[in-house]
Amino acid sequence: MKQIDKEITFTSKCFGCGKENPIGAKLKFYEDTENSLQTTFTAPETWGGWGEIIHGGLQTVLLDEISAWTAISLLSIYGLTVKAEIEFFHPVYVNEKLIIKSRIEVVKGKDIQISSSIMTEDGMICTKGLFTFRTMQKEKLEQLVKKDFSS
């Protein structure tokens, strides 16, 4: 699989993908197919919710992050998540290697629907998400993040 090497100047501190965030996930993404991405992640103990089960909010972060990067890297657009639907099927645990995948489902106007899932190494689907990502003009997004993309 080909690693996504796109750099975005304002993401260095991003909780999901930022290389300079000391407590972040530091996810790296790989092109799985022409309309999907994949990554792996092992959550540290500090990500626990109930005991060693990864907190549901942090599972949502993983799904949201890969979904956004799917739109950014495969469609070359920028925007923000405007809707997230999450389903939890089986617990996922800290210190367990996880496979996280995403796929573009629908592109309609400014909205892109992307499905994503967290699986165990043996392929059991534990958590699913359906995210709506709304594209924005570069200038509007720069204004929201208070950062010029060209710097």
Residue 151 scores a pLDDT above 70:
no
Helix (H) or strand (E) holding 39: strand 36-42
Q: Locate the domains of the chain by residue range.
A: 2-145
Can you give the three-state secondary structure of 53-97, one letter per residue? Answer: EECHHHHHHHHHHHHHHHHHHHHCCCEEEEEEEEEECCCCECCCE
Q: Please write the tens of the pLDDT for every residue from 22-37.
A: 887 778 889 888 889 9
Could you tell me the pTM of the whole model? 0.87
Q: What CA–CA distance (Å, rounded) separates 101 from 80?
A: 19
In percent, the amount of the chain with pLDDT more than 70 equals: 90
Q: Average the pLDDT over 70-90 and give the result.
A: 93
Which class is 2-145 in CATH?
alpha beta
Residue 96 scores a pLDDT above 90:
yes
Q: Average the pLDDT over 92-117 and give the result.
A: 97
Q: Please write the tens of the pLDDT for every residue from 2-60.
A: 877 766 655 677 766 767 778 877 788 898 888 899 999 999 999 898 999 999 999 99
